[in-house]
Amino acid sequence: MKVSNDPFCENEKGKRLSAISRSESSETTGELNYNVVEEQMEVFRALCRRQNQSRHFNKEASHLWFRPNLVRWLEAQASRFTLSFHSVSIALALVDNICARFHFPSSDWHLLAGASLMVASKLVERPKLALTLSTTIELLDGSFSENQVRTVEVSIASALEFRVNVVVPLDFFEFLIGLKVLTDEDWASQPDRTLCVQNIGHQLLQACQHSYDLLQFTSLAVAASVLWIAQKECQVEDPWPESFADLVCVRLEQLNPCILHILEIVENKSVTPVSSCCTEHDQTCH
């Protein structure tokens, strides 16, 4: 994927943000909108810098043959303990990171997944929902001791140099949705369509995490591709306008390989209501 590590190109900042401010009829409102967008782009730049700190794609990772089971197990435990999809995404990213770089014994893969889910829940859930040491042991059906869970938790943090708040595609997807609403009056005036795109996007992202091969793309690329597909499904006329591509510095042609990969996943799993939004005759995808 040839998307830049820092897609917000400084030398193009004026061109992109001035286009937004010029679209406002009021000079004061235009300046306010410019400042708000610039603040959001600071967040975007931080996400872009962080996304590659935790992403490690290794076709020879030892856990690959068992990974589908780990994904299903994480999803089941999240449902059992009322955790969000965000927690599952971060936990899986932690597992993939560790197994891509280190040898982790297969007998302890569930221990690694459980400890990762505990770490993830502490990052994104409300305090009352976050997994504690005792609930993590319960989640693991008592197969591991407190000391074992604590040891793996510390090992995860140490392996990531204590940068455990990893960036996953969901982070970028939610950011891009918010940026669309902020910079596109048509989006801001149609909350039902925004909700449609979000719902389909979340289903797509849940399907995507079952594919290890998607780790060869950046989290931004996966999120942007999911956003494009979800908008097509919701019949958005221009799902990736040039002004938005300029803003995030990602062109549709850069996303095509990732879009096609996601559509293949959806077709194979049949888990989302996405229709034939990109057929072999759709020149946007080919």
Q: pLDDT tens-digit profile of 22-78?
A: 344 444 444 546 677 888 889 899 899 888 776 788 899 989 999 999 999 999 999
Q: What is the pLDDT of residue 30?
A: 46
Residues found in the chain: 286
Q: Check residue 105 and give left, alpha or beta (phi > 0: left; psi -120 to 50: alpha).
A: beta
Q: What tens digit of pLDDT does each residue of 1-28 get? A: 434 444 434 334 434 444 444 344 444 4
278 and 263 Cβ atoms separated by less than 8 Å = yes
Largest CA distance in the chain: 64
Of 19-33, 97-111, 121-135, give the lowest mean pLDDT range: 19-33
Q: Is 249 helix (H, G, I), strand (E, B) or coil?
A: coil
Q: What is the pLDDT of residue 136?
A: 97
87 or 270: which leads in pLDDT? 87
37 and 79 Cβ atoms separated by less than 8 Å = no
Give counts: helices (H), strands (E), the chain.
13, 0
Question: pLDDT > 70: what percent of the chain?
Answer: 81
Say yes or no to pLDDT of 162 above 90.
no
55 and 218 Cβ atoms separated by less than 8 Å = yes
Burial tier of 241 (Cβ tally within 10 Å: 0-12, 13-18, 19+): middle
CA distance linking residue 146 with residue 117, whole number of Å: 15
CA distance linking residue 214 with residue 67, whole number of Å: 13
- Kind and range of the H or E element at 159? helix 146-159
Q: What residue type is assigned to position 211 of the chain? A: S
Of 31-35, 80-84, 229-233, give the lowest mean pLDDT range: 31-35
Which candidate, 42, 44, 37, 47, places its Cα nearest to that of 17? 37
User: If pLDDT is split at 50, 70 and 90, which confidence band does 269 have?
Assistant: low
CA distance linking residue 277 with residue 93, whole number of Å: 29
pLDDT mean across residues, the chain: 83
Q: How many CB atoms lie within 10 A of CB 162?
A: 10
User: If pLDDT is split at 50, 70 and 90, which confidence band does 227 have?
Assistant: very high
Of 8-17, 85-94, 155-164, 253-262, give the lowest mean pLDDT range: 8-17
**Please, what is the end-to-end C-alpha distance for the chain in angstroms?**
16
What is the pTM (predicted TM-score) of this model?
0.82
Say yes or no to pLDDT of 250 above 50.
yes
